[in-house]
Every structure is written in structure tokens, then in C-alpha cells.
Structure 1
Amino acid sequence: MTRGVRGRRVERLERLRASAAQLLRPFDPLTLRRGQRPLLALCALLSSCYRVDKPAGPAAAAAVPAGDGRTLRVFIWSEYMDPDIVGAFEKQSGARVILDTFESNEAMLAKLQGGGATYDLVVPSSYVVQTMVRAGLLQPLNRAQLPNLKNVAPEFLNPPYDPGNRYSVPYQYAATGLAYNKSRYVPRSSWAEIFGPEDRRSFVLLDDPREVIGAALKYLGHSANTADVAELRAARDLLRRTVAKKGFQGFDGGPGTRNKLLARQVDLGQIYVGDLLIATEENPQVQVLLPREGTTISMDTLVVLKRSPNPALAHRFINTLLDAEVGARLSNYTYYATPNAAARPLLDDFLKEIPALNPPPQWLQNGKLDFIDELPGRRAQRLYDRIWTELKSR
């Protein structure tokens, strides 16, 4: 681990410690619904971690000449890019990289479809790629400009959500696991810790419909992407019983759950593995496991917008991110897993030693690890929406 990376990690740990009390402070029901205040505090925290130039509106976006060949606009999740990678690319290319951030795929799509600021490169989750293709938002990638695509592990190429990687390349991914604090409770490696009949442990679920419903489906032995009505009804009934338990502490994002585990306020938390690892480095008692029934995996991707003013520069940046050393540096910064096979030997030992960050390769073949895919049709989406609406209204 380089001193620079360690220094940034220390800074992030200090920010987490300083904000923990605020993140865990009871919400004000008169102003925000449950979960919003911690998330807003987190957004402010994350936005201070690296340079982000956010356009104030259409006027600010228009201030940068379109197609100048020297400005790359990237729309990306918060704290998902090592600023040193950006700085090195700017120095090497002579270009300026502007990062703007979003907090959900839905917000990202709404901004792009609503005629927001013009971007070149976007980092959507895999299940959104085909939605963006159908909406006419993406341009096909020029493979000749991406020689480093050879570094991507074969199991992550030619995915169902983008056959032939015509529009996207994999960026970072994370499985969803079961987090715990060993000083409070050590669970079995099973979703039964949450979905089983026992009601002795306090737990938090992710504030994400596909993850929560997907976990219930995996526990029942089904695909996390099923559209089968009977299977979804079984998952709905299971989740009804789950959220009715005394131990259920609500829905929360990964950072909120992470802080509750650090404070020993809950026994268990459903969480993205990458979101927990900064807490693991601070306190080794905080750990995460992958349940034996299997789990979901979210792959984020790199795509070039059809209206990109600088597509050649966007391709150049993508190819840089696919470099082995750059790919390792990225995961060493984000704590998320890399699909870059050439980068894996260069990862920090800390990341190599965490089984939950590196699921067994056979899990991708035997159905235990489900990529969250786009649902097949509006009917299936309505079923998921109804289940989620009912759960959140309880």
C-alpha cells in the first residue's frame, strides 16, 4: 500500500469517526423520513473526499465548450474514483476531468433523460445498461481504442446485460453480504440469521428493493431476478414475517449500517461488501460473510453517451482504467472488487485476504451468485414495486 493511499484512508477514517454521532443521531420525523438525514450527512462527507466540480445548472454546463477535446465530464457514484488516477490522467493527457456524482441509478437516468448537463462517460450499474440503450443514450464502444480490455477476466466479458460488451465494460463490483461485529455476535453463514424463524438478533436491511427481495429469493432457493409469481409471493410472505420481527431495526444504506456495527448497536446488517471494508480496517472485529445460499452481485460499468462531446477522450480514459496498475490502485482506494484479472496480483494484501470480496469463481457458474439483471417486462417490475411499497409502509 502506498503512503498516499494509506493517508487518504486515514483521512476517511477520521471523517467517519467525526461524523458517527451525527450519522446515528435519531431522525427528526417532522422534517425527514427515516434514513434521509444519515444519507444527506454521508453525501456531504463523501463529497469532501475528492475534487468534484458540480455544474450549478445548464448555464454552468454550457461554460465548457462542447467537443474541445480537452475536457472530460464523468458522471459517477460518490467516492468511486481515486483522485490520484484522475490527476495522473490529466497530467498525461493534458485534459481536464470533471467529476459529477449521483446517488442512485434512478437519479442518474432522470438527469440524463431530462436534458441535464452534458457528460461523456457515465458509470451505471449493469442492470441499467439495456435501459439506457433502448432510451438511445449510449453509443457503441470502439474496441480498437480499448486494447486493455484484454485485462478483464473472461467471466466478466460478454455478459447477459450487454452481449459482446458492445456498449459497456466492467468497472467495479461488489457482492452483498451479512455484516457483523464479532465482539457482539458471530453468525452462521446463512441468510437464516435474518429470514429464519428465530427473533433473537437485531438486524438492518439495505434500503434497496432488488437487494432485499433478492436476498429473500436466494434464501428460498430461487433466482434473485425471478419473474415467477409464485416465487415472488413466497418472498413477499417471508419478508412480511421478517420486518414484523422485534429485532428488525429498519432499512438503511451501507454507511449507516457500517456505523451501527462499529457502535455495536445491531447484531447483523445486510450490506455491500465494499461499503463495510473501511470499518474492517478500523476495527477488525467488524466482518462480513457471504451466506451459503448465495447472494447478489452488483456490477458497475463504464459507458460512453451518444451525445458525448469528446468520445475519443472518453475511450482513452476507459482504457487507462483498464490498465493493470490503475485497476489495482482503483480497488485499493474504493475497497470494491475488480473484474480486472491483471490487476488482482497487485491488490493490497488487505483486500486479497477478504473472502467476501473474492467470491469463489464457481459461484458464478452454479447460480449462487446472481448479477442483478433488468427485470423482464413491466409486469415483473410492478410485482417487485408492490412488494417493496408494502414493506416500506409497515
Structure 2
Amino acid sequence: MKKFVITMITILLLCAGLGYGSHELTKSTGDSGDKVLNLYNWGDYIDPALLTKFQKETGYHVNVETFDSNEAMYTKIKQGGTSYDLTVPSDYMVQKMKADHMLIPLDKSKLTGMNNYGSAFLNKSFDPNNRYSIPYFWGTLGIIYNDQDVKPGTLTHWNQLWNPKYKDGIMLIDSARDIMGFSLISLNKSVNTTNSADLLAARNKLFQLSPNVKAVVADEIKMYMAEGEAPVAVDWSGEASEMMSQNSHLHYVVPTEGSNMWFDNLVIPKTAKHFKAIYAFLNFMNQPKNAAQNAAYIGYSTPNNQALKLLPKSVRDDQQFYPPQTVLKRLQVYSNLSPEKVQEYNDLYLEFKMHH
């Protein structure tokens, strides 16, 4: 799932009513005229230069409004009163929005470039046959380690995190589904299990991990790891990429027994109005050169295989962020769980945090 915490500057801008960047969505511009596209996206999740290029090529002006969580996006669209043409939910949220009749199916006859996407990134369980969604970016959950403390190649399994040699040495990203998830995988269970006994076992195993856990933190985990505050962390691939760009001693590994694979996706919400602009934009983003430019700007993994070929060889061959098929086939995508089960995951995770 997209793991991006909105920056404090952006929060201040939003609180001040200034919108985000130069692509503010307002009632005066967002709802009037046919030459606009209203995009509801995560913060800083598209290269601004691409928006300028799109407008020059097509004449459509893109208004961007941002959100910082799938749930915030869902709530705002559900409440109505908006006119978003496209939004970018993660895998499980596509499933939820589809179930709640909040999405418009894609008209495949108006789409070009869908054959640029790799088969590993299409026809996923949250949206069979991509009836509603086009993959935008993807990534994994894994382990970051500092080679000044951990010998490269030695930390390759989730269960190794319980080794007493990592006492007070592991930072965890603050995410119930992910932390419960890797504990479940270490027990050979599905990350989507609804079996209460499995969930209790995962929580109990996390209790046993507590002596090794230095901190459970949010976005500041990137700063801590970049500054060498801990030898090991569990975090998402996109976050790992940022840390590694600041500290050459850091490395990222997806444990061999598998992990979570998340997707962010472009979808058309029921609020959409500007369909010519929508398909012009989707086809524009499907073009390999544009998808490659966006991936270079964002730093996340592109599902567009033709775009990947345009990226530097050092990026294409980096198995930390573009793992081989042997790893891909062991990754699990989160399913949308019932509110009751989501609460159960959250409650057990909170017990672990309090225990820690």
C-alpha cells in the first residue's frame, strides 16, 4: 500500500487554506469548464513537470488535491460534495470502494498502453481483470539493515528478528496490518487470516519480540535509520529507498519466505465528470516515457515494464526494489477485511505496543 506521510509543510499549507502546491483544487476552478481534470492524490506523488507536459499536450488543466491516508480519501468521496475525476487508492481500498459502489468501471476501448504493464501487476485479487483500476506504483514490506552492524546477506528471514543479538536494536514502522502481517508470515499464516487463534498467536509472538524492539515509530523512522540510530528496521520499500539515499550503509531485503506486496492504483470515482480528460490522462500516464519520468521522480517501483526499460540499469537491476520472480510469487496482497476483523487486528497490535 502507498506509505506516504504528508509533510508538515504541506499540513500547514492545507490548514492555512492554501491548498497543495500550485495545483490547488477549488470550487471555482474544479467544478467549472470542460478543460480540467480533478485529481485526488497522495501528497507529492506525481512529478509536477508531467502535469505541465500533459496540459501542453492536451489542453487539460490538472487540479490536484491531496490526502494522507486511504481512509481519509474514502471518507471524503463517500461524503459527497466533491467532483474528483481520478483518485489513487491502495489495493484493499479499491476492493472496499468497489464493494460500496463508489467506482466507475474502466472503458477499455478508450485506453491505450495497457499492454505495457507486467502480468505480475495485473489481474490481482482486489480487482480481477482490472475492471476498475490501473496500477500506478507498487512496493513491498521488508527489512532494512546497517552493514556497520549487520553482515550483508545474513539477515534474510523474518524469524531472525527474534535473535537476542538484536536486543534493543530494531525499529518498527507503526502499522498494525504490517507488523501483525510479518508475525503471521513467520508462523506460516496468511496476512489476510481471519482466524482469531492465528491472530492471537501472532500477537503473542510479537510479545516475544519486544526485548529487541527499540521503538515503534512513524515517518521519523527514515531520519532515525539514516542517522544510524538502530541497526535494523522493518519498513516499506519506498521509505527504504529514501533512507538509503541518505546513508550508503543501509540495505533493504525482502525475506525469502515472503512479505506484503502493495499497489497504488488509478481509479475513476463515482464523482467523475470530465471523461475525455480522464482517458487522456490515463493514456498519457500509460506511455512508457511518462511512467519512467514519474518513477524517477517518486523513487517507487513502476509496474510499467516498458517504462522500466527506460530507467537506468542500476535501477532496473536493483533486486531490492525490483525483486526476481522467485520472490514476487511469494508476496501477499492485503485483502479488505470486515470492520470487525480490522478492529481485532488493531486491538491486538495495540496490546503489543503497550506491552513493548
TM-score by length of 1: 0.81
Q: Equivalents in 1 of 2:162, 2:67: separation in Å?
A: 32
- What value does the CA root-mean-square deviation take over the aligned residues? 2.4
1:279 aligned residue (213, 226, 243): 243
Per-residue deviation at 1:364?
3.6
SS in 2 for 1:369: coil
Instruction: Give matches, 1:228-377, under 5 Å.
Output: 228-242=195-209, 244-245=210-211, 247-253=212-218, 255-365=219-329, 368-375=330-337, 377=338
SS in 2 for 1:212: helix
Q: Equivalents in 2 of 1:378, 1:83: separation in Å?
A: 36
TM-score by length of 2: 0.89
Per-residue deviation at 1:271?
1.3
Q: Equivalents in 2 of 1:76, 1:328: separation in Å?
A: 18
| Structure 2: gaps (5+ residues) | none
Per-residue deviation at 1:158?
1.5
Per-residue deviation at 1:66?
2.8
The 1:101/1:65 distance shift into structure 2, 3 A limit, reads closer
Per-residue CA deviation, residues 42-68 of structure 1 (Å, 9 max, x unaligned), is 7559999x835445xxxxx32126362
After TM superposition, the structure 1 stretch with the greater mean CA deviation from structure 2, 187-196 or 123-132, is 187-196
The 1:267/1:43 distance shift into structure 2, 3 A limit, reads farther
CA contact (8 A) 2:82 2:271 kept: no
After TM superposition, the structure 1 stretch with the greater mean CA deviation from structure 2, 170-179 or 113-122, is 113-122
SS in 2 for 1:171: strand
Q: Equivalents in 2 of 1:223, 1:343: separation in Å?
A: 32
Amino acid aligned to 1:298: W
The 1:371/1:362 distance shift into structure 2, 3 A limit, reads same
Q: Equivalents in 2 of 1:264, 1:360: separation in Å?
A: 29
Instruction: Give matches, 1:45-64, under 5 Å.
Output: 51-55=21-25, 61-64=26-29
Per-residue deviation at 1:352?
2.0
Matched, 1:381 2:342: yes
Q: Equivalents in 2 of 1:116, 1:290: separation in Å?
A: 42
For 2:187, the equivalent position in structure 1 comes to: 220
CA contact (8 A) 1:177 1:295 kept: yes
The 1:363/1:289 distance shift into structure 2, 3 A limit, reads closer
Per-residue deviation at 1:353?
3.4
For 1:170, the equivalent position in structure 2 comes to: 135
The 1:264/1:46 distance shift into structure 2, 3 A limit, reads farther
Aligned residue pair count: 345
For 2:173, the equivalent position in structure 1 comes to: 206
Per-residue CA deviation, residues 101-129 of structure 1 (Å, 9 max, x unaligned), is 11111111121122353211100001111
Identity %: 28
- Structure 1 runs (4+) greater than 4 angstroms displaced: 42-48, 196-199
CA contact (8 A) 1:46 1:78 kept: no
For 1:192, the equivalent position in structure 2 comes to: 159
After TM superposition, the structure 1 stretch with the greater mean CA deviation from structure 2, 382-391 or 132-141, is 382-391
Q: Equivalents in 1 of 2:30, 2:227: separation in Å?
A: 49
